[in-house]
Structure 1
Amino acid sequence: MERTCLLLLLLSTLVYCSLGQGGVLSLTASLSVSPDRSQFFEYESVSLSCEVQGNSAGWRVVRNTERGILSECKTDWGELQGSSCNVSLIPSDSGVYWCESGSGEHSNAVNITVPAGAVILESPALPVTEGDSVTLRCRYQGTPSDLTADFYKDGSLITTETTGEMTIPTVSKSDEGLYKCTNSEGESPESWMTVTDFSLPASLSVSPDRSQFFEYESVSLGCEVQGNSAGWRVVRNALRGILSECKTDWGEQQGSSCIVSLIPSDSGVYWCESGSGEHSNAVNITVHAGAMILESPALPVTEGDSVTLRCRYQGTPSDLTADFYKDGSLITTETTGEMTIPTVSKSDEGLYKCTNSEGESPESWMTVTAVPVLSMSPLRLLCSLLVGSPYLLLTIILLVKGCRSRTQGETRVPRKTHQDQLGDRVEEK
C-alpha cells in the first residue's frame, strides 16, 4: 500500500509539473494590467505595474506608442500611485507597454489600443494559459451593451452571438490569433490573443558576447526560438528613441542572424520580438567613439562561472594598467588590463567601468543569474528531476512494481502449520 501511494505521488507530481506550476524558468519581471484588456474606450483608465522577482529598484513601466516615441510613466503620460502607473487613456496612448530595468531587462509586453470609434473587443491583454476558459465581449460605448455581434479570428467569421459575447471553454494553442468583432454600431480594432505554456519563447544571442564595442566593429545578433520561428525578428530601440527592426535602416540579414557594422547611433537596447508582441531577453549595446571600452558580457552570467573583464584600448598596447570600478567604487587595479572573478555570485551583479592612462570606458551592467537547481523549492526540484529524467521515472515505476510483485509472490507460499513442523522433525529423526 505504501509503495502504491508513492507511485501515485510521483505521477501526481508529474501532472503538477505538466500544468506548468513547477516550471524552472521564470521571467525576472511581469507587467500586470488592470483591467486585463487590450482595448479601451477613450477616457477609460488602466493601471499598469511591474511585479518583480527580487529587488524591484530601477524597474519602471515604459511604452512605445504609435508615434514611435519611447518614454516612461511620469514623463508626459501616466500618474504614479505607489507601485502602479495609472493612465487615463486617449487614442495617442495606443502602443506597446512593458516593464524595463536600468540594465535593459524586459518583462512581457502588452499592446493596448484606444480607438476613437464606438465599438471595442474586450479580450485579454495578458497571455492566457492552455486549458483556461476565456470570454470575448463585443462592447458598444453607448447602450445597449448586448447587441448581436459577429466574431472573427484571423479575418474569418467564427461565430455570431446574440448576447454580444463568445466563450472558449477550454482554450488551446490553436485559439491563438487575431480577433475582432462587428455589430450594428460598427467594428472593433483587431487584438492578438496569446496562449502560453509558461516557456520562454525565444532568446537573443550576441556574438561576440560583449556589451561595448568600438566604432566600426561588427556584432552578430540572432533569435533562438523554441518551436516555430516564423514571424520572429531582431528589433531595437536606439538612443534616438526609434523602434525598428533589422533590414530597415540598420543591419544586414545573413541566414537567421542580423549582422551590424556599428556606429555610435547604433547604441541601444536589442531584443527578439514576434508578430504577437512576445519578447525575448534584451541586451544593452554601447558603441563608443572614444579610445576605451570595457569588455564585459552582454548576456547574463550564471553564479559559479568564471568571468573576465578587460579594459581595452583601441590603439596599442592593450595591456595597460587599469582601474576597475563597480557601482562607482574602485574595486581593483590590475597591471594586465583585465580582472577575473573566479566564481561569480549575485553580489557581483552591478554597473562596471574601467579607466587607464588613455581614458575611461562607458559603464555597463553585468547581470548574474542564480543556478536554477539551487533556487528551486523541493517540489520544483522533484518536478525537474522527473520531467527532465524519464529514465529515472521509468526505473522508479519498475522498481515499485517489482517490489509489489515479489511481495505478492511471497504471500502466496502457504505457511506450515505447527503439526506439519512436528511431522518434519519426526522424519528427520
Structure 2
Amino acid sequence: MYTGERVTLSCGFGGDPAGWEYLWYKDRLRDALPNTDSSATDRSSYTISSAALAHSGEYRCIAARGREPFYSDYSDPLTLEISGPPQTHLTVQSGWTEVFPTERVTLRCVIQGNSTEWIYKWYRDEQELPVDEANSSSVNGGTYTILSADQSHTGLYTCRGQLQRAAVYSLVSNSATLSIWGEKPKPVITQNPSSGEMYTGERVTLSCGFGGDPAGWEYLWYKDRLRDALPNTDSSRTDGSSYTISSAALAHSGEYRCRAARGSERFYSDYSDALTLDISGIPQTHLTVQSGWTEVFPTERVTLSTILIRLNCKLFVNIYLSGLYCLT
C-alpha cells in the first residue's frame, strides 16, 4: 500500500454470530485503537481514510459481546506495510535526444516496484499529454511513442504513475528534453588523399559525417546507383563512418554517395552529394638521352629527359643520377 490510499480491515467469524462488538489493536494488545481524523471503526471494519507511513504495523482484532463482555480470542496478526510514493525513471529508448523530422521516438517510464499496478501519465512542458495526439503518438504500458516527429514535439518530457485502484501518484520522473531539427540531415562526403585523380594500387579512404555528428548513426555507401549499399570485400570495407579501398583498381572509378541510418525501426538521412573517384592506371615513363649519344667525355654536359605517356597525369618523377640510371 502507498501513502494516501484508503485501507479497510475487516474482522469477523464464519457465519458471523450476532451481537459482537469489534476492537482493534496495532502492534501491542494493551489499548484498543480509538477513532481519529484518519481512521475509524464501523462495526466489524476499521478504515484508514488516508494511509501514512505511521499506519504501518501489525493489526489484530478481538470481538466482545454481552453486558459483562465476553471476549473472543485475538485474531492472527495482519501486517500492513505503507510505502511512500515510488521513484519513477524516464529514458529515451534510442539513447539520443536530438531528433529529425519523421523519426520515430520511444520514451520509457519505469516505476519502482510492481509496475503492473500503475496507469502511466505523460507530460510535455508540464502539460499532460493525451493518449493519441492527432494520431502522431501512442501509449503502450510504460512506453510513449512519437510515431513521426515534427517540431511540435520539441520540449521537456516527464512521466509518473497513478495507481489503478486509487488517485495515488508516484513521484514525477527525471526529465528528458527532445529537440526536433527543422529538416532531415544531409551528410558530407570527403576523400583522403584529397587529390581528384587516384592511381591503381593506392589506398583511398572516403569519410561521411555531419556537423556536430549526432549519435547513433550507421553509415551506408553507394556507388553509381542508389539501389544497393556497398558490401565489404577483400579490397574495400566500411569502418564506422569511413569506406576504405585498400588497393584501388580501375573498377573502383565512379560516383560515390553515403547516407546514415539509426534506430531499430530505421530512420534514414538524405543522401550526400556525389563524390567522383577517378582511378587511372600508372602512366608509362620513357627515358631519353637528349643529345642522342651515350658515350660521354669528361666535362661534357649530359641531359636526360623523362616523358610521361599521359601528359595530363599528376605524377611527380624524381630522377637520381649515379652513373647513368633513372628511378621513377
TM-score (norm 1): 0.25
Greater helix share, 1 or 2? 1
Greater C-alpha radius of gyration: 2
TM-score (norm 2): 0.31
